[in-house]
Amino acid sequence: MNHPSRTILLALALLGLMTVVPTRAADDDKLSQILIPGEDWQVAAQELSFADGLSTDADGNVYFCEMRAKPPAIFKMTPDGVKTKVGEGSRSGTRRGPDRKLYAVGTNQALVYDLATGTSTVLAEKISTNDLTVSAKGLLYLTEPAKNQITLIDPMTKDVKALDRGIKSPNGIGLSPDQKTLYVSDYGTTTVYAFAVQPDGTLADKKALMTMKAPENKPTIANGDGMTIDAAGRVYVTTALGIQVFTPAGELLGVIPKVKSSNPMSTTFGGKDLGYLYMSHGDTIYRRKVQAKGALSFETLK
């Protein structure tokens, strides 16, 4: 004879399975428009000191910084994996600009590297840099976690302007393909913010648009770090759980699992036709072929 309490517990367990399985299947279905069956992370570069600051160009070359090399340096990696040094310094963020130059931030500086001549120019100093993005107009948007601030730099005038000081730990940053929206991940919470970009480059209409999943042992901190955006406007954020993917409206499509137990740092599209998603993970850079394509906009102009 079944005990009534056991019957109830069994029914609750079955109900739990019925709710969990469809949700997991729904997440997989949402990512199916991005991931390719049978494709997984592959090593693109390994035995690095510590890779960060991934970005790309229209030819699919990936730029990154060897942060802990002696001395630290910026490299360009072709879709075939050939690496060439293009600059010096420890830079946690890099982006190509519409002028074909490479912009970077790190060690309290913002700089521009002329890839044709191999020279670099300091645009700003004494800033608490973390990451950056570059608009089609050539304006630099920086995250400064120590100041809880988003900063705007005009490379032509070297004018530095504080735009927002209300995010706990601003980190990853990116612009939508149409240049109308700026996204910023908060490393210290689970929020990705969205701002409306104004004609003069300033920001308005701040929204807590996306909510990142966080580990069970730290449910309020997702460690939202690097960011990239695809041609459809979807936002990819490296987090403690892996790369979380959101629609432009803020819906979480799912989490692309990470490879190592440590947190991935930065991400970008690159490779042939910008059809590969790259991820820096400590001493290794991984990539995987996907159905999505990188945005051919401000950071990928030839």
On whether residue 295 sits in a domain, the answer given is: no
Domain count, the chain: 1
Maximum CA pair distance of the chain? Answer: 85
pLDDT band of 294, cuts 50, 70, 90: very high
On whether residue 219 sits in a domain, the answer given is: yes
Mean pLDDT of 257-267: 95
pLDDT in tens, 172-223: 999 999 999 999 999 999 999 999 999 999 999 999 999 999 999 999 999 9
What rounded mean pLDDT belongs to the chain?
Answer: 91
Q: Report the candidate in 273, 276, 203 with the shortest Cα–Cα distance to residue 236.
A: 276
Q: How many residues does the chain have?
A: 302
Determine the structural domain holding residue 256 and report its residue range. 42-289
On whether residue 300 sits in a domain, the answer given is: no
pLDDT band of 12, cuts 50, 70, 90: very low
**Percent of the chain scoring above 70 in pLDDT:** 88
Mean pLDDT of 161-171: 97
Mean pLDDT of 122-149: 96
On whether residue 231 sits in a domain, the answer given is: yes
pLDDT in tens, 22-41: 444 556 679 999 999 999 99
On whether residue 301 sits in a domain, the answer given is: no
Between the CA of residue 16 and those of 5, 11, 28, 289, what are the distances in Å? 17, 9, 19, 35
On whether residue 64 sits in a domain, the answer given is: yes
Which run of H or E residues covers position 8? helix 4-31
pLDDT reading at 297 higher than 60: no
On whether residue 31 sits in a domain, the answer given is: no
On whether residue 296 sits in a domain, the answer given is: no
Least confident span in 2-6, 14-18, 240-244, 251-255: 14-18
Here the CATH number for the domain that contains residue 88 is 2.120.10.30
Cα dihedral 274, 225, 150, 302, rounded to 10, equals -10
pLDDT reading at 9 higher than 90: no
* Model pTM score: 0.90
